[in-house]
Amino acid sequence: MRFIHCSDVHVTGDYFALPLRRLGWRRWLAMVELTVGRRARAYRHAPATLARIAQEAHAHAADHLILSGDITAYALESEFQGAREALGEWAQDRRRCTVIPGNHDVFTPGGHRSRRFERYFGHLLESDLPEHCREGAFPFVRLVGEGAAVVGLLSARVPFMPGIAHGWVGPAQLEGLAAVVKDPRLEGRALLVVVHHAPLTPRGRTDHVFHGLRDAEALCRLLPGPRYAVLHGHIHHRYHHEATAGRPHLFGAGSSTLEGHEGYWVIDVAAGQVMGGQMHTPGQHSRADLPLGRHA
């Protein structure tokens, strides 16, 4: 079976066309990053690049497309709409697509309260095993064919203020995930667990306190060995840490639409195991299989 994994696509609206009052103070601060930090320019082609990834997923004969959060720049309605349109038919069918929110998608309390993410992608959160849900829709389980399952977790929380970008899964979801792992209906299936925040950095270290996944160790402890993989984003580097006896495969998809660093993973599953992956650049020939643990 084959999975496409992308992340942090950051579809970016036209912030200068909107009244400042409508943007709110959090996005006023973000305007510095969009302009001085040149973030708006770096993601100006994000919708087209995401659409290209979705198109190439067909060429790869993918069974499922996964987007592990940060769909938007700062959670504008138009950004969610643009991402949904770019994904096209993939986003219409939960059997073929998984999308979870990242911290940029819950950037404002108002956007979170209005369930803006759910209006565009909520249909993809419906679980095939709803008895394991513990925090709203999470963790949800998607059965994919006969040999795999995708499990979605929520780690993105409304930040106290811009610049605070850490996340956590929390004990309720971890308890639900533990029940998923033990569920006899999933025996013989590889489990691909999707979370936004990275359990480890490209160098294999814990991320810093204001950016990392606070309960990363507890998450990885539940998923030992090559049957399991954690697919994440948040860190804008593309890398893979091979599974060990005490930890799953870790696939970081980087920022799939960042100009000059575009890319995504093609991950293969066979015989109930995660076999590894290849990094691809949209519109270019694929890279050869990389040695495990390399990052770009």
The answer as to whether 111 is a domain residue is yes
Is residue 290 scored above 70 in pLDDT? no
pLDDT tens digit string along 54-100?
Answer: 999 999 999 999 999 999 999 999 999 999 999 999 999 999 999 99
Q: What is the domain-level CATH number for residue 140?
A: 3.60.21.10
Decide if 276 contacts 291 (C-beta within 8 A).
Answer: no
Residues in the chain: 296
The answer as to whether 149 is a domain residue is yes
Indicate the angle between helix axes 77-87 and 46-59, nearest 10 degrees. Answer: 30
Decide if 61 contacts 2 (C-beta within 8 A).
Answer: yes
Mean pLDDT of 183-209: 97
Model pTM? 0.94
Q: Quick one: tokens of 165?
A: 């970008």
The answer as to whether 159 is a domain residue is yes
The answer as to whether 292 is a domain residue is no
**Mean pLDDT over all residues of the chain?**
94
Q: Quick one: tokens of 137?
A: 């829709």
The answer as to whether 203 is a domain residue is yes
User: Of all residues in the chain, what percent are helix, strand and coil, respectively (each to 5)?
Assistant: 30, 20, 45
The answer as to whether 295 is a domain residue is no
The answer as to whether 285 is a domain residue is no
Residue 285's pLDDT is 55
The answer as to whether 225 is a domain residue is yes
Residue 55's region, left for phi above 0, alpha for psi from -120 to 50, else beta, is alpha
Report the distance separating Cα 257 and Cα 263, nearest Å.
7
Count structural domains, the chain: 1
Report the distance separating Cα 239 and Cα 237, nearest Å.
6
Range of the domain at 272: 2-280
